[in-house]
Amino acid sequence: MAEALLVVEGLNTVLNTSEGTVRAVTDVSVEIGKGEIVGIVGESGCGKSMTVMSIMGLVPSPPGEVTGGRVMFDGTDLRTLSGAEMQKTRGRRIGMIFQDPMTFLNPVLTIESQISEMLRHHLNLTKAERRERVIDLLRRVRIPDPARVVASYPHQLSGGMRQRILIATAISCDPELIIADEPTTALDVTVQAQILELLKEIIHDMGSSLLLITHDLGVVAETCDRVYVMYAGKVVEEAPVDELFRTPKHPYTQGLLASILRADERRDELYALDGTVPNLVDVPVGCAFVDRCAKATAICETAGPGWTRNSDVSGVACWNYET
């Protein structure tokens, strides 16, 4: 792996709700090297967004609380930073892209003021320099006619254009790391292809790293160098992308891959994992996947499987994983 940029160790986050304590993130360890594109993939509610929020210090509190772990970014534990210091890091050194640009973009501000605001906050530039930079950023995310678009409001743009604006904002201060949470989920597939292509190119050009959150294994295959698979709040498998798709080790990863229908092959017999994900309020004591697992043995019911590291860049949490 490349030299580490972000090292998350033993992250734990809970949400205190009226139904009980939701264990949204449990012992999550994730590492991102310089220049790498790393994916976190998993089904709805498995804790992907909460992991990101915990890394960024954005867990809503209450009901949320990060109860343990370290978030080492370029040698500093982000969890020890003050609110003001963290705010400086966000945007300046770590850029963020969300699924729904409208929650991030201010509807009453022009595109120029939105991006300028970010620049004003973090960089020491004159007004003219800022304006020039905004136009340059829009050009970099391939917005046609940037001089016109800077004056428009978010609702006047299409979903794909808004996502480009978000990318422009995220890269505005040349961050070392970009975290994108389902950046293309709301987009049509031809527009998704444009945006993923753009993201890859920009990350490559800036020499930055990307942490990409998605539920779509196709997007992972197209974009990422390495992947973490999450299930019920935990990382259950980690591997370089080729290895994960060629020789998945965890029964959940195997089941997930076997149930995806692909546009490049027709299947007459469909495969499906039985059952559903467990409720994160009372996570089973043993392996959280035990109810749905074809490989489960007695121990899986009573004890959670530890992490087996298979190499520098791959590991699995399962008592009976495929060797």
Partner 1 sequence: MTTAPILSVESLTKTYRSGGLFSTTPPVQAVAGVSFDIAPGETLALVGESGCGKSTIGRVIMNLTDPTSGHVVFDGSDLATLDAKAALETKTHLQMIFQDPFGSLNPRKTVRQILSQPFRVAGISNWEPRVLDLLRVVGMTPPERFVNRMPHEFSGGQRQRIAIARAFALQPKLIVADECVSALDVSVRAQILKLMKRLQQETQVSYLFISHDLGVVRSMAHRVAVMYLGRLVEIGPVEQIFNAPAHPYTQALLSASPVPDPERERTKRRIILRGDIPSPSRPPSGCRFHTRCPIARPLCSEREPILEARSADHPVACHFSDLAKADAWT
Ligand X SMILES: Nc1ncnc2c1ncn2[C@@H]1O[C@H](COP(=O)(O)OP(=O)(O)OP(=O)(O)O)[C@@H](O)[C@H]1O
Q: Is 295 in the site for ligand SF4 (CB under 6 A)?
A: yes
158 binds, among partner 1, Mg ion, ligand X, none (CB under 5 to 8 A by kind): partner 1
CA distance 260 to 262: 6
161 binds, among ligand X, ligand SF4, partner 1, none (CB under 5 to 8 A by kind): partner 1
**Closest CB to partner 1 among residues 51, 253:** 253
CA distance 148 to 40: 37
Q: Is 64 in the site for partner 1 (CB under 8 A)?
A: no
Minimum CB separation of residue 290 from ligand SF4 in Å reads 4
Residue 59 identity (one-letter amino acid) = V
CA distance 50 to 17: 15
Stretches 99-107, 113-121, 241-249, 295-303: which one binds partner 1 (CB under 8 A)? 241-249
CA distance 136 to 104: 21
Q: For residue 42, give the nearest of 68, 57, 24 by alpha carbon.
A: 24
Instruction: Give the total of residues touching Mg ion (CB under 5 A).
Output: 1
Q: Is 49 in the site for Mg ion (CB under 5 A)?
A: yes
70: Cβ–Cβ under 8 A, 6 or more apart, which residues? Answer: 7, 8, 9, 10, 11, 77, 79
**Closest CB to ligand SF4 among residues 69, 255:** 255
**Closest CB to ligand X among residues 26, 116:** 26
CA distance 202 to 198: 6
Residue 319 identity (one-letter amino acid) = W
Chain residues binding ligand X by CB under 6 A are 15, 17, 22, 24, 42, 44-50, 60, 63, 215, 280
Chain residues binding ligand SF4 by CB under 6 A are 251, 287, 289-290, 293, 295-296, 300, 305, 318-320
